[in-house]
Amino acid sequence: MSGLSNVERVGCANILNLLPEVDLRSLCDTVTNKMIVVEDITEAKDTILVFTKNAEELLKRKKVHRDLIFKYLAKEGVVMSPTSEKHQLVKKALELWSSRKAVVDVKVQPETDDTRPDSTNVKAEVGVDAQALGQQFCRWFFQLLNSQNLSLGQQPENWGPQHFWPNVRLRLLTRTGSEQIEEFEGAEMVNLRLLAMASEERLFFSPNLESHGLKVLVSPHGLLLVAVAGTIHRDGSCLGIFEQIFGLISSPLQDNNWKIKFVNLKIRGQDALSGTEVVAPALSYNSTDLQLLCS
C-alpha cells in the first residue's frame, strides 16, 4: 500500500500537478520500474502516488525540481528564501504536512472517554484488513455483475468501464469439453465482455467467500490481489465452477477507490470437473501463485 498519509497524498498530488506531462510519464516509469503503462497524465499521477513508499522519497526524485517545491510552498503560504536549497525545501514541505496531519488526527478522535482513534481513519493510515477488503470487493463486484442478468428480475446497477483502469486486461480460460482462451485489453472491451456473460449469456456467479474459497494478497507496491472460487448458474441449473483473480489498485485522486487493473477468469463446465466439489469450490491457487502475479 502507499506509505503516504492523506495529507501527504494531497500535497504530493498538488506538486505533481506542476510537472509537465513528459516529466510525469518519466517519473511514473522510474517509480514503477516500467511495470505499468499509463494511458494519460491522470493515471500517471495516480500510479506515482500508489507506488511511492513515502513522501520524502518522492520529493527527492530528480524530476521533482527544486522550483516546483518552492512554488508549492509559496501557494501554501510558506515563505522561503529564493536561494533555499532543495533539501531545505523538502524538509519544510515534510514539516508542513506533519503539522497538518497532527491537526487531522486530533479532529478524528471520537468525543468519548475512549481515546482510541476511529478505526476507519487508522486503516487509511496504517493499512487495511486485506481479507475483509477482498470479501467486501467480491460482494460488490458479483452483485453488480449479476444485476445485469435480466432473467433474475433485478434492477441493473451501475456497471461500466469506470470501474476499470484504462489499460485493464482480461484473460478468460473456458473448459467446457474443449479449451478456449480469450484475451481483451482496455476498459471498454473488458467491460463489454464481462457484461455479455451476465446480460447475454445469462450467467449467474456465486462466489465462495469462506476462507478456502477466497485468498487476498497485498504487494509492497500497492497491488491488491483477490482470488475467489465459486459456482456458475443459468436459469437455476449449475453449469460448473469458476476461479477468478482480480488485480486492484487504488486511485488516490478519486477518493482512494479501488479500480480493477487485470482479471484472470477460469471457467470449468460440469463435464470438465471429474468429481470436484461443486457446492463450495476451493481455490486451486496458493499464495505462491499469487505472489508470482505481484512480481
Residue among 273, 259, 267, 286 at smallest CA distance from 47: 259
CA dist 281 and 141 (Å) reads: 19
Which residues are registered as beta bridge partners of 232? 205, 240
* 253 and 219 inside one domain: yes
* 176 and 275 inside one domain: yes
What are the two backbone dihedrals, phi and then psi, of residue 3, each rounded to the nearest 5 degrees? -85, 10
* 107 and 188 inside one domain: no
Query: What CA–CA distances, in Å, run from 45 to 58, 138, 161, 238?
Result: 12, 27, 20, 44
CA dist 248 and 186 (Å) reads: 15
CA dist 277 and 256 (Å) reads: 37
Which cell numbers in the block locate residue 186? 482496455
Residue among 3, 11, 248, 218 at smallest CA distance from 125: 3
Give the confidence band of 282 by pLDDT, cuts at 50, 70, 90. confident
* 218 and 104 inside one domain: no
* 95 and 13 inside one domain: yes
What are the two backbone dihedrals, phi and then psi, of residue 32, each rounded to the nearest 5 degrees? -100, 5
Whether the predicted model's global pTM rises above the 0.75 cut? no
Q: Which comes out higher in pLDDT, residue 103 or 168?
A: 168
* 57 and 83 inside one domain: yes
| 124 lies in some domain | no
* 220 and 260 inside one domain: yes
* 156 and 94 inside one domain: no
Q: What is the mean pLDDT of the chain?
A: 80
Alpha helices by DSSP H, the chain:
6-16, 21-32, 41-51, 55-59, 66-75, 86-107, 119-126, 130-146, 187-199, 287-294
* 53 and 135 inside one domain: no
> What is the domain count for the chain?
2
Query: What CA–CA distances, in Å, run from 125 to 54, 248, 250?
Result: 12, 18, 14
* 147 and 88 inside one domain: no
| 1 lies in some domain | no
Q: Look up residue 147 and give its DSSP letter.
A: T
* 38 and 180 inside one domain: no
Given a cut of 70, whether residue 103 has pLDDT beyond it is no
| 245 lies in some domain | yes
- Structural domain ending residue among the three candidates 53, 85, 118: 118
CA dist 241 and 148 (Å) reads: 20
Region of poorest pLDDT, from 69-78, 101-110, 193-202, 250-259: 101-110
pLDDT (tens digit, 9 = 90+) per residue, 23-39?
A: 999 999 898 888 777 77
Distance of CA 292 to the CA centre of its chain: 17
- Structural domain ending residue among the three candidates 118, 147, 166: 118
pLDDT value of residue 289: 58
pLDDT value of residue 197: 95
pLDDT (tens digit, 9 = 90+) per residue, 73-82?
A: 988 888 888 8
| 15 lies in some domain | yes
* 21 and 138 inside one domain: no
- Structural domain ending residue among the three candidates 118, 142, 165: 118
Provide the total of helices (H) and of strands (E) in the chain, helices listed first: 10, 7
| Residues of the domain holding 90 | 6-118
